[in-house]
Amino acid sequence: MESFTSPTVTQRDQILVEQQVFNIFKTFYNMPPSSQSFMLELQRENHVEYLTNGLKQLGPSFCVLDANRPWICYWILHSIALMDEFVDPELEDNTIDFLGRCQDPNGGYGGGPGQMPHLATTYAAVNSLVTLGGDKALSSINRQKLYSFMRKMKDASGGFRMHDGGEIDVRACYTAISVASLLNILDDELVQNVGNYILSCQTYEGGISGEPGSEAHGGYTFCGLATMILINEVDRLDLSRLIDWVVFQQGVEGGFQGRTNKLVDGCYSFWQGGIFALLKRLNSTKGERSIPLGGGEDSDPESPQTTASSDATDEGLNEDLSQGGSHSEKADQHDTSSRVNVDKIDHNSSKGHAKVEPLFNSLALQQYILLCSQDLNGGLRDKPGKSRDHYHTCYCLSGLSVCQRSWLGDEDSPPLPRAVLGPYSNLLEPIHPLYNVVLDRYQEAEEFFTRS
C-alpha cells in the first residue's frame, strides 16, 4: 500500500467540489417529485449487472489490478450480498476455485494464483468466502496453515507485517485480527502487544494513523478501533477525542473526508461511517464495559432512560448533524483478562442498548451517496466527475447500510421508513461492522467455525 503523499487540498479544490455538489442538489430540489424519487432510488438492477460482469472477468487473463484479485472478489460479492442478491451457482463455484488457487500451500492468500501470501488479500479472500457461505466455501480455508502464516507475520513489537519482509501498520493488525477472530483462531500469541501498537498510532487529533507519527486517517481509524474492540482493549483508546475527530470529518456536502482538510469521498461513508456503527454498539457488548455515547449521564444500560428504544424519535430524525453530548470516559484500567474474543459485539441481543442518536448526519450522508456517488447506469464512485469502480461501490453501499440503521437501538427490528432516504426499497442488508460482512453470512460462519 502506498504511503499517503497526496497534498492537503487547496481552498480552490474544496470550492470546486462544493460547487459541483451544490449544483447537483440545486438541480435535484428544482425537479418534480417523481424525478426526485428516481434520483434517490438505488439502481439495484444496474448495480448488480455491473458487479456480476466484473466477477465474470476474474480469470487467468484478467490482468488489471493483478495483485488485487481477491479484493475484487470481495468488493463485488459483498456489494451483491448487501443488495440481498446472489451469484449464479456456476459463477460461485468458479470463484471458490479461483480463491482456492490464490491460497498459498503454507497458508494465507496472495493477490492471484502463485503470488506471495499477503494479509490484506487474505482478509479479502476470507471475507469473500464467508460472504459466499456454504460448506464448500468455508471448508476451503486451511485454518491451521493460515494460523502459522499469521504467526510468521507477527513482529516482536506486537504489530503485524503485511507480508514476508513487508511493512508493519494498523491495516496489517486489523486484517490479521479480523481474520483470526472470524475463523475462531485468535489466541494470546496473536493478540500480544497489538493494543500497544494501535495505541501508539492514536494522534493528537484523536484519530488513528497508519503507523506511529503519521496523520490520522479514517481508513486506519476504522481498522484501529475495530482491532481494539476485537482484542477487548478498546477502553485504552481516548474514545472521547476519537469521537471528536470523526464527527468533524463530515463535510458540508454530507459525505466524509478521510482526513483533515481533504476532499469528501464516497468510500469514507464506510471507513468513517463504520466507526459510528462500532461506537454505537459498544454499549451492547457482552461483559462489563459500558461506554456512554451521546447519552450523557445515561450510562446505566438497565436504567429506564437508557433502555433500548426500538425506533428512532421524530425529533431526532429531524435534527441536523447531531454531535452528541458528553462522550466516553476512559476506563481506569483496561481489562486484558479475556484475550480471546469473547467480548464481541452481540448482534443477537436486544437488551442493554443505549438510546441511540447518530453522532453524524445520517440523512445528509445518504443524500451524498445516492445523488453524488451513484452512477445511475450501475456502480458507485468517489465523487461527481470520477468513474465508478468496485472499491467505491462496495464501501458506498456498506456506508449506506450503516446509515440506514444508525437510529436503531434494537438491531433486530427494521429501520423506520424515514431513516431510509429515498424509497424503502433502498434498504440494504445489515452488516457486522467489525468485519464488514453481511450479518447473516457472519452468523453462518461463526456457527461453522465454532463447531469445526
Ligand X SMILES: CC(C)=CCC/C(C)=C/CC/C(C)=C/COP(=O)(O)OP(=O)(O)O
335-339 long-range Cβ contacts below 8 angstroms, 24+ apart: 335/232, 335/233, 335/235, 335/287, 335/288, 335/289, 336/195, 336/232, 336/233, 338/232, 338/287, 339/187, 339/188, 339/191, 339/231, 339/232
Task: From 26-34, 230-238, 255-263, 420-428, give the range in contact with ligand X by CB under 6 A.
Answer: 255-263
Nearest residue (CB) to Zn ion, 266 versus 295? 266
Separation between Cα atoms, residue 3 and residue 44, nearest integer Å: 35
Q: What's phi and psi for 28, nearest 5 deg?
A: -60, -50
- Minimal CB distance to ligand X: which residue? 219
Provide the Cα torsion 394, 400, 402, 406; round to 10°.
Answer: 170
Sites for Zn ion among residues 377-396 (CB under 5 A): 382
Nearest residue (CB) to ligand X, 223 versus 408? 223
Buried b (16+ CB within 10 A) or exposed e, 58-70: beeeeeeeeebbb
171 touches which of ligand X, Zn ion, none (CB within 5 to 8 A by kind)? ligand X
CA angle 194–196–197, rounded 5-degree value: 65
Please report whether residue 180 would count as binding Zn ion according to CB under 5 A: no
**3-state secondary structure at position 308:** coil
Please report whether residue 398 would count as binding ligand X according to CB under 6 A: no
357 touches which of Zn ion, ligand X, none (CB within 5 to 8 A by kind)? none
- Annotated catalytic residues are 217, 259, 262, 265, 267-268, 382, 389, 392
- Minimal CB distance to Zn ion: which residue? 267
Please report whether residue 271 would count as binding ligand X according to CB under 6 A: yes
Residues contacting residue 165 through CB under 8 Å, at least 6 positions apart: none
Task: From 23-31, 170-178, 244-252, 338-346, give the range in contact with ligand X by CB under 6 A.
Answer: 170-178
Please report whether residue 383 would count as binding ligand X according to CB under 6 A: no
Task: From 10-18, 34-42, 72-80, 213-221, give the range in contact with ligand X by CB under 6 A.
Answer: 213-221
**3-state secondary structure at position 70:** helix
Nearest residue (CB) to ligand X, 67 versus 331? 67
382 touches which of ligand X, Zn ion, none (CB within 5 to 8 A by kind)? Zn ion
Sites for ligand X among residues 121-150 (CB under 6 A): 123
Q: Among all chains, which residue has been given the C-alpha cell 488513528?
A: 208
Site string for Zn ion, 247-276 (x = CB under 5 A): ------------------x-x---------
Answer for the pair 393, 50: CB distance below 8 angstroms, yes or no. yes
Residue numbers of the site for ligand X (CB under 6 A)?
4, 6, 120, 123, 171, 174-175, 217, 219-220, 223, 258-259, 262, 265, 271
